[in-house]
Amino acid sequence: MVSSPRKSTLAIVSGEGDLPRLIADECARQGQQYMLVLFAGFAPDWAIGRPQCNVEFEKPGKLFKALEAAGCQQVAFAGAMQRPNLNPLRFDWKFLTLAPTLLPALKSGDDVTLRTITTIFEAEKLEIVAPHSLLESLVAGAGALGSIEPTAANQVDIARGFAIARAIGSQDVGQGAVVAQGLCLGVESIQGTDVMLDFVAQTGSAFRPDPEGSRGVLCKAPKPGQDWRVDMPAIGAKTLENAAKAGLAGVAVQAGGVLILGLEETIAKADELGLFLVGVPAP
């Protein structure tokens, strides 16, 4: 649900995945005006017929003028977005003024990049709105979310998985790790969770010492100190499908720190696949 009434139009900077659509649907349900911000080369089918502006990465001046014209005072960043291949010949004057700060940030980790971008938007007097404040019901709760409970062996892997996830998160690398029988089978980097799980599916079976032992777990947690307004981790039914393909026993997420997109569908998928789905309180 939308947590509070918003009089201005909400700009939804939209990337891949279900999150921007879910926010737009909730705004429509609540009678909240919104406008999708779609960057060049990205035109999802679900956005057809919805209020939107289409912009280029190289022309932030045009973007900010469009937001002002639409009466946008708040912005939500939603969905995965690939780093752009910028064409310097297309930079507008606004980009040139931002380049000394923005270009180095684009060569850093996601957290640094997103903090820089939010600072730029805030300098334009735009309020950053967290997706989880718009869709509070999708934030992972604590405990077993489906019908299957993790075993004692799973719990050992969960503890190690979160320790690894938080270690790589502290270096602004990723938000997830896969552990089986105490061994790290994969860590998430800029390519994302699905690529990591595909890697584990192809290689993980060779590194499980005991064929009858724990099959492993995917652990997802926010990076320590990251700005949850713009980069809160998220999973969905597809994550559970890929975890099953990787031969894992289940998925553990930090309670209160991860969005579950399509909550009922994701829980049903976990039960269908025989996987546990559990929310673990932050340490």
Number of domains into which the chain is organized: 2
Q: Is the domain of 147 the same as that of 184?
A: yes
Final residue in a domain of this structure, among 75, 101, 134: 134
Are 234 and 245 spatial neighbours (Cβ–Cβ below 8 Å)?
no
Cβ-Cβ contacts under 8 Å for 242 (sequence gap 6 or more): 193, 194, 197, 198, 201
| Token reading at 89 | 């010949």
Q: Are 144 and 230 part of one and the same domain?
A: yes
- Reported as a single tens digit per residue, the pLDDT across 87-109 is 999 999 999 999 999 999 888 77
**Domain residue limits at 238:** 139-280
Residue 144 shares a structural domain with residue 120: no
Decide if 269 contacts 277 (C-beta within 8 A). Answer: no
Q: Are residues 109 and 143 in the same domain?
A: no
Indicate whether 236 and 148 sit together in one domain.
Answer: yes
Residue 92 DSSP code: -
Q: Which stretches of the chain score pLDDT less than 50? A: 1-5
Given 109, 134, 159, which residue is the final one in a domain? Answer: 134
Check residue 7 and give its pLDDT: 62
Question: Are 157 and 276 in a shared domain?
Answer: yes
Q: Do 173 and 232 share a domain, yes or no? A: yes
Q: Kindly report the CATH number assigned to the domain that includes residue 104.
A: 3.40.50.20
**Domain membership flag for residue 2:** no
Which residue among 134, 150, 177 closes a domain?
134
Residues 119/182, Cβ–Cβ less than 8 Å: no
Q: Per DSSP, what are the bridge partners of residue 10? A: 34, 74
143 and 269 in a single domain? The answer is: yes
For residues 26 and 101, state if they share a domain.
yes
What is the number of residues in the chain? Answer: 283
149, 266: one domain: yes
CATH number where 205 lies:
3.40.140.80
Over residues 198-219, the pLDDT tens digits come to 999 999 777 777 777 789 999 9
Q: What is the DSSP-derived secondary structure letter of residue 16?
A: B
Burial of 20 per CB tally in 10 Å (0-12, 13-18, 19+): buried
Contacts of residue 54, defined as CB under 8 A and 6 or more positions apart, other chains included, come to 38, 39, 40, 43
Distance CA 274, CA 268 (A): 10
Structure tokens at 91: 């930079």
User: 1 in a domain, yes or no?
Assistant: no
Kindly state the tokens that stand for 206: 């060779």
Question: Do residue 260 and residue 208 come from a single domain?
Answer: yes
Evaluate whether 280 touches 238 at the Cβ level (below 8 Å).
Answer: no
Q: In this predicted structure, what is the pLDDT of residue 52? A: 94
* Judgement on whether residues 143 and 251 belong to the same structural domain of the protein: yes
Give the whole-angstrom CA distance, residue 67 versus residue 125.
11
Q: Looking at the domain assignment, is residue 187 inside a domain?
A: yes
CB-based contacts of 18, cutoff 8 Å, min separation 6: 79, 236, 261, 262
- Outline where 171-247 has alpha helix (H): 193-203, 228-231, 237-245
65 located within any domain: yes
User: What is the pLDDT, as a whole number, of residue 136?
Assistant: 85
pTM (predicted TM-score):
0.81
Determine, yes or no, domain membership for 4.
Answer: no
Nearest by Cα to 95 from 64, 73, 68: 64
Say if CB 257 and CB 232 are below 8 A apart. yes
- Give the per-residue pLDDT at 50: 95
